[in-house]
Amino acid sequence: MLGDFSYCTPTKLYFGEHALEHLPEELKKYGDNVILAYGGGSIKRNGIYDDVMKVLKDTGKTVTEISGIMPNPTVEKLKEGIQIAREAKADFILAVGGGSVIDYSKALSVSVHYDGDPWEKYYLKFEEPECETLPVGTVLTMVGTGSEMNSGAVITNPDQKLKIGHVFQDEKIMPRFSILNPRYTMTLPHYQMVSGSYDIFNHICEQYFSGEDDNTSDYIAEGLMRSVVHSSRIANQDPQNYEARSNLMWSATWALNTLTGKGKTTDWMVHMLGQAVGAVTNATHGMTLAAVSIPYYKHIMPYGLKKFVRFAKTVWNVDPEGKSDREIAEAGLSAMQQWMQELGLVMNITDLGADESMIPDLVKGTIVLNGGYKVLDEKEIAEIFKESL
């Protein structure tokens, strides 16, 4: 049975090669003092910075830049941004980049007018903002996280070896608009492109592998998964293929704007394991997920066998003829593993810089959730990390 839910996606999307043409009409809705948030400089090399800057100037905005937002943005960088935004009397944040820049901008949005420690309030206590928040708009340049249409904001605290995501309840933390031009993703290095593709796929898995109900959300998830597998294969061979890149972009948005989790408990344990790896290695997000996924899914498969059988047949076209349920489910995971290898994903945490001595920290840094097929204990988490080495 579908559980009760509410659904609201206030983010206005502009999709396609001419999407940026809509930026002026959106900017007019907000105040003059704009924070332009971006990463380490890719937008300067591929021309997106110049295009966006031109629109900001033409619309008469006063622009203050927060640059150098790193992949897996840190709490220290957030604190730096809070000072800049306060001094600029910011009215609006325009995030130009991938999930890191957009997440950072949401974290900034809830922190500029908060006097206390945002890490403690939003990431250790998971509280909601009571203060004024700044509206955020985005120009997406990297596909994967879905941050362009959700209220999630992941921040890393390297000193505490913690990487924590807060999914804010208040829908005004979601971007007010997002500009999605698939061409903007064409300059992504192959490593980031495939990492993002796996991030999309895993977001869908995280919501799919829970419950046994006849749930429309699962049918939507299966369609999206098939599209991601198909388009990622094409993009892997031909990265400039516009159709494949636009399908990936559109799938990423729908994979994590909460649609496919509606009415379900949802799992999210691959992300919890991956975030623990990210906190100690600073590795690329999608790769941390890829490195722990197969050991994790093999571990929980017996507890959710029926769903793994359905996954094998529907997503991977496994022929069930003459096979036990267990064999069908295993064949599905093998097909998934083969696809991951074909893309060139990192399939173990050793290659991301982790080693056996880090396992206690990894276990400590893994937040245990209870919406999936098995609530993991510490011993199981340590085993999964060992199998991921």
- Interaction between residue 245 and ligand NZQ (CB under 6 A): no
Question: What does the alpha-carbon distance between residue 302 and residue 297 come to, in Å, rounded to a whole number?
Answer: 9
Chain-centre distance for alpha carbon 85: 25
Residues in the chain: 389
Question: What does the alpha-carbon distance between residue 94 and residue 245 come to, in Å, rounded to a whole number?
Answer: 23
Smallest gap from Cβ 378 to ligand NZQ, in A, equals 23
Q: Which residues contact 218 (CB under 8 A, 6 or more apart)?
A: 208, 211, 260, 264, 310
- Interaction between residue 81 and ligand NZQ (CB under 6 A): no
Is residue 97 a contact partner of residue 141, using CB atoms and an 8 Å limit?
A: yes
39 binds, among ligand NZQ, Zn ion, none (CB under 5 to 8 A by kind): ligand NZQ
Burial of 91 (0-12, 13-18, 19+ CB in 10 A): middle
* Closer of 199 and 218 to Zn ion (Cβ): 199
- Interaction between residue 316 and ligand NZQ (CB under 6 A): no
Which range of residues in 117-125, 144-152, 224-232, 332-340 is near ligand NZQ by CB under 6 A?
A: 144-152
Ranges of beta strands (E only) in the chain are: 12-15, 33-38, 62-66, 92-97, 136-140, 152-157, 162-167, 177-180
* Closer of 31 and 40 to ligand NZQ (Cβ): 40
Please provide residue 128's backbone torsions phi and psi, each rounded to the nearest 5 degrees.
-95, 155
Residues at the interface with Zn ion (CB under 5 A):
199
- Interaction between residue 40 and ligand NZQ (CB under 6 A): yes
Question: What does the alpha-carbon distance between residue 314 and residue 324 come to, in Å, rounded to a whole number?
Answer: 16
* Closer of 277 and 312 to ligand NZQ (Cβ): 277
98 binds, among Zn ion, ligand NZQ, none (CB under 5 to 8 A by kind): ligand NZQ
- Interaction between residue 145 and ligand NZQ (CB under 6 A): yes
Which range of residues in 57-65, 181-189, 292-300, 354-362 is near ligand NZQ by CB under 6 A?
A: 181-189
* Closer of 195 and 227 to ligand NZQ (Cβ): 195
Smallest gap from Cβ 287 to Zn ion, in A, equals 11
Smallest gap from Cβ 206 to Zn ion, in A, equals 8
Question: What does the alpha-carbon distance between residue 225 and residue 307 come to, in Å, rounded to a whole number?
Answer: 14
- Residues lying near ligand NZQ in the complex (CB under 6 A) are found at 39-43, 46, 71-72, 97-101, 103, 141-142, 144-147, 150, 152-154, 165, 184-185, 187-188, 192, 196, 199, 256, 271, 285-286
